[in-house]
Amino acid sequence: MREQLTSIKNQHVKDWKKLATKRGREKFNAYLLDGWHLVEEALKSGVTLTALIGTADELAAHDDIVARFDQVYEVTPAILKHVLDTVTPQGIAAVAQLPNHRFQPGVDLKGAWLLLDRVQDPGNVGTMIRTADAAGFAGVVASAQTADLFSPKVVRSMQGSQFHLQLFTGDLRKWIADFKAAGKPVYGTQLNPAAQSFRQVHPGPNFALIMGNEGHGMASDLLAATTTNLYIPMKGAAESLNVAVSAGILMFELNRAALTD
Amino acid sequence: MREQLTSIKNQHVKDWKKLATKRGREKFNAYLLDGWHLVEEALKSGVTLTALIGTADELAAHDDIVARFDQVYEVTPAILKHVLDTVTPQGIAAVAQLPNHRFQPGVDLKGAWLLLDRVQDPGNVGTMIRTADAAGFAGVVASAQTADLFSPKVVRSMQGSQFHLQLFTGDLRKWIADFKAAGKPVYGTQLNPAAQSFRQVHPGPNFALIMGNEGHGMASDLLAATTTNLYIPMKGAAESLNVAVSAGILMFELNRAALTD
């Protein structure tokens, strides 16, 4: 079905706009994909897309993709800009179903996992998920106080990695306990007297790595529950690294065996 | 000398506001430091600071630092917000002299150097400089089309690293020629048939690493001039890494010998 919308007061437009908020995403169990790249990645991965929203020009230029949607909405550029709140919208968007990203007791803990403890900046969260994907990680678990994994800014920075790995939101205490009960090491990332250089640690293919809040690091009860804490040796004058850069260095080194040289 | 300013129409306020633009910074040969952390880092490093600008409360709370300035301006929170254009200004700023960051023929090329070829996002540029500092690099050279090294956003992301390493803006072709003439390897970062995994390369303490534009990578004439091009082996589904994350992984591995384990 194809429908033409010209007013931002249309109920569909109002509903899409609500997907910018966590509450709206929960209500509709959906989030927005902005641009052809993400729409194509979603189609490739078999994710359920409930609607395609595009300008007349963009829809006309992509007949083959349009044909794969039951619901197509032709909208004005102004409507798309209103819904997406981006400076230069590409003229196309889609409504995607949220994956089940809650804590599920039966998750297979195989492979490398990234755990995010209250990471606040959506750009950092998205970049870390994208990096985990590139580093061959199996999944990412975000604590409840971490930036919502399907907010527009996180989705933009993930660049489609949500289609390649498993994403969960949950209580990290439970996850850590599960990893440890399964005999898999859980690495924290905070300097303490017993911390080890990340270069000295050579985990097998199954482990978890925890990254903490930008300003405050990891919560102390999580730190206390880790197998080992890691640090990145650096030069004296610098005080720290951006959390997404640290995560990248650690993930590519710890999962090195899984990456083809 | 201490002066009290209450209007955003004051000439000093107008001049400071101009430091947000490249043109303004060139005109006054100065840039702004936002917050006590950067002011203290600058004082420690011996950089010339020509003025301290703060609210009455902040100045009163830091007598010892205030005493180190010849020119102190007490301003309203509104003026500071106007000048700094940050959401939550800390109530303090300083005017710092720009370092000589032009191409200088006599630069000592010792150590590891990061070369930035048209990197556009100021956050990426600042983060890479901060990372280069932590990885023990000697300096960073930005091409003319790279985000200006002293723009407010770059300065915010550098977090004071400009006080720990050398920063230049210049023609990368000349710099590459100089590194090669001195027998130091220059590594490019773009996939080509002859590219090597970054894990296979073990440079000595002296080398240069080039990172390219976020969307387009490195310019082809620069690529052609490198000693070797490097790639980071990654998992199939992911297409790329954020440029600042890639730079972090490469810098910490290539300069590994210089970092204490």
The domain locations on chain A are 2-97, 112-258
Q: Which residue has the higher pLDDT, B202 or A209?
A: A209
- Min Cα–Cα distance to chain A from B166, Å: 13
B234 to chain A: closest CA residue: A134
- ∠ CA(B72), CA(B78), CA(B79), 5° rounding? 40
User: Which residues have C-beta within 8 Å of that of residue B148, sequence separation ≥ 6?
Assistant: B22, B25, B122, B154, B169
pLDDT over 80 at B191, yes or no:
no
Q: What is the pLDDT of residues B133-179, one digit of tens each?
A: 999 999 999 999 999 999 999 999 999 999 999 999 999 999 999 99
A235 to B134: CB separation less than 8 angstroms, yes or no: yes
Residues within 8 A of B (CB atoms), A 104-143 only: 123, 127, 130-131, 133-136
Flag if B135 and A246 touch (Cβ within 8 Å).
no
Q: What is the pLDDT of residue A107?
A: 83
Between chain A and chain B, how many beta carbons pairs sit less than 8 Å apart? 105
The answer to whether residue B241 neighbours chain A at the CB level (below 8 Å) is yes
Confidence at residue B89, expressed as pLDDT on a 0 to 100 scale: 79
* C-alpha to C-alpha distance for A155 and A97, rounded to whole angstroms: 13
Q: Which residues of A touch B161 (CB under 8 A)?
A: 237-238
Structure confidence at residue A86 (pLDDT): 79
Instruction: Judge contact between A29 and A23, C-beta under 8 A.
Output: no
Average pLDDT score over chain B: 92
Task: For chain B, give the percent of residues with pLDDT over 90.
Answer: 85
Instruction: Name the residue among A71, A243, A138, A164 with its Cα closest to residue B244.
Output: A243
Contact A259 B131 (CB under 8 A): no
The mean pLDDT value for B186-209 works out to 90
Provide the pLDDT confidence category of residue B108 given band limits of 50, 70 and 90: confident
Residue of chain A whose alpha carbon sits nearest to that of B137: A235
Kindly state which CATH superfamily the domain B2-97 is placed in: Ribosomal protein L30/S12 (3.30.1330.30)
- Which pLDDT does position B74 carry in this prediction? 97
Mean pLDDT, rounded, for B191-199: 84
Which residues are CB-neighbours of A27 under 8 A, at least 6 positions away? A18
Query: Which residue type is seen at A133?
Result: D
Report pLDDT for A261: 52
Answer yes or no: is pLDDT of B236 > 70: no
d(CA A82, CA A86): 8
CATH number attached to the domain at A112-258: 3.40.1280.10
Rounded mean pLDDT of B252-260? 90
Q: Sort out which chain A residues have CB atoms less than 8 A from B247's CB and list them.
A: 245
Res B261 pLDDT > 60: no
Q: How far is A127 from chain B (nearest CA, A)?
A: 7
Length of chain A: 261
* Residues of chain A below pLDDT 50: none
Please write the tens of the pLDDT for every residue from B19-42: 999 999 999 999 999 999 999 999
Q: Is B237 on the interface with A (CB under 8 A)?
A: yes
Residue B248 near chain A (CB below 8 Å): yes
pLDDT for the residue numbered A91? 93
ipTM for the whole complex: 0.91
Mutation target to probe the B interface, by most B beta carbons within 10 A, among A239, A245, A249, A261 is: A245
